[in-house]
Amino acid sequence: MNRLKGIVYDCIGWLAAKGPRQKAAVKKLLIVRVDEIGDFMLWHMFIEDIATSAPFKGYEIHFCGNQSTKSLFHTFDAQFVKQTHWIDKTRFKKEMLYRFTFLRNIYRQGFEVVINPTFSRDKRYDDAIVKAAAGAETIGMRANLETVAEYEQGYDRDLYTRLFDHPEKPVFEFYRNKLFTEFLVQGKLGRIGTKIDRALLPASPIQKPTQFFVVFPGSRSAKRIWPTENFVLVSNYLFETTGATAVVCGTGNDAPYIDSFCRQYRNKTVNLMGKTSLPEMVALFSEAQCLLSVDTGSVHLAAAAGCPVFGIFNGSQYKRFAPYPKEVAENFYAIYPDAVEAELKNSAVAKEKYEFVVDVPYASVPAEKVILAIDEWMNPSR
C-alpha cells in the first residue's frame, strides 16, 4: 500500500512540475523546512545567517514551512524573508488536489536555488517540494536513512546538486544545523545557542502567580505518555517546596491528559489548554520557575526561553535532541529510565543502540527520579 501511495505522489509531483514558470527580475532562493516545532526551534536562528550571507546576496528569499511553526516564524524571523509558503502536512498527505496545487505553485515561482536544511529528509514531504521547485542548484544534507524505507533508498540520487555530510554521530541538532549553515555561507558562525531575544516576545497570556511552574502532561504520540500520577507527585513536590502554582498547558488534543491531571492534582492550578499561541508560550516559559514535560516540542521552546527543563526521555536519538549541551541550555535535565541511563554511560552502546528511536516505555522513569533531579537543581551545594 505504501508503495502504491508513493507512485501516486510521484505522479502528482511530475504533473505539477510541468508548464511555464515565472521569469523573475531577481534571483529567487527557497528554503524548505517543514518538520516539527522542536526541529524548528533548533534551526530557525540560521535563517538570518543564510539570508544575509555573501553567497546569496541579491537573492529574493522565500521560506516554505510547516503551518504549525507559522507564529514562531513571524515572531522571530519574518524580517529576513520576502515571501512564505505554508503547508498543511495533513492535507498534503491526504488531499491530492491540495498536494498538486501546492507543488504547482512552488514550481511556478521559478526558484534558482533551493535549500533543504533538514537531516531527516522525507521523500513525501520536503524532498517532494524540493523536486517540484526544480532549482538549478539544490543543496541539502545527506539523508538520515532511519526515515527512508528500504525500497526507496537511492531515490534522491539526482535530486541535489550539493550534499553536506557530517559523519560524526551523535551530534546535537543545533550543532548539525550550524555546521550545515557554515557549509552554505562558506564561513564560521559565532552562534552558541538557541536563546531567543526576549524583546521579541509578546505579553504574557495570563495574570501570572508570583511563582509558577509549567506542566505539559500530554503528547501527540501515545508512546510518549508519562502516567498522570507521576506528574501529580512531582507537581506536589514543587508546590510543597516552593509554593508555586502549576500552570497546565497543551493543545486540545492533550485534553484527556490535562483533564486527568487537573482532577488528581489537589493544589492550585491555572489551566491554559488551547489558550496560548506558541510565542505566548515562549513568553510564559521565560518567567516560569521550570517546565515538567515528556519529550515534546515544549522542552525546546522552554530551553530557548531560558527556562529550566525537567524532561522525561527514553533514550531515543540520544544526544541528537537531548540532553542539551550545557553551553546551549545550562539547566536542561533529561531524565532517563535507570536501565537506559546505565547503558548510556557506555559510549559504544549508546551510539549503537540509541542512535535512532527505541521502544522503551516513558513510564519506566519513576517520579522519584525526577524529584531527585529537581532537588539537586534547587540545592546544588547539598
Q: For 189-221, how does the pLDDT look when each residue is reduced to its tens digit (9 = 90+)?
A: 999 899 999 999 998 767 778 899 999 999 888
Report the distance separating Cα 239 and Cα 241, nearest Å.
6
**What residue ranges of the chain are covered by domains with CATH 3.40.50.2000?**
2-185, 198-378
Report the distance separating Cα 130 and Cα 257, nearest Å.
38
Q: Is the pLDDT of residue 349 over 70?
A: yes
Backbone angles phi, psi at 291, to 5 degrees: -120, 135
Is 189 within 8 Å of 177 (Cβ atoms)? Answer: no
Name the grid cell of 310: 525537567
Is 197 within 8 Å of 283 (Cβ atoms)? Answer: no
Q: Per residue, what are the HEC states of 102-119?
A: HHHHHHHCCCCEEEECCC
Q: Is the pLDDT of residue 16 over 80?
A: yes
- When mean pLDDT is compared across 106-110, 148-152, 195-199, 354-358, the lowest value belongs to 148-152
Q: Is the pLDDT of residue 26 over 80?
A: yes
H or E segment at 288?
none
Q: Mean pLDDT, to the nearest integer, of 129-136?
A: 97
Q: What is the mean pLDDT of the chain?
A: 94
Q: What is the DSSP secondary-structure string of 20-84?
A: -----SS-EEEEEE-S-HHHHHTTTTHHHHHHTSGGGTTPEEEEEEEGGGHHHHHHHTGGG-SEE
Report the distance separating Cα 234 and Cα 238, nearest Å.
6
- What is 2-185's CATH number? 3.40.50.2000
Q: Mean pLDDT, to the nearest integer, of 93-105?
A: 98
Read off the pTM.
Answer: 0.95
Q: Is the pLDDT of residue 6 over 90?
A: no
Residue that wins the pLDDT comparison between 242 and 145: 242
Query: How does residue 167 score in pLDDT terms, banded at 50, 70 and 90?
Result: confident
Q: Is the pLDDT of residue 382 over 70?
A: no
Q: Mean pLDDT, to the nearest integer, of 348-359?
A: 92
Fold of 198-378: Rossmann fold (3.40.50)
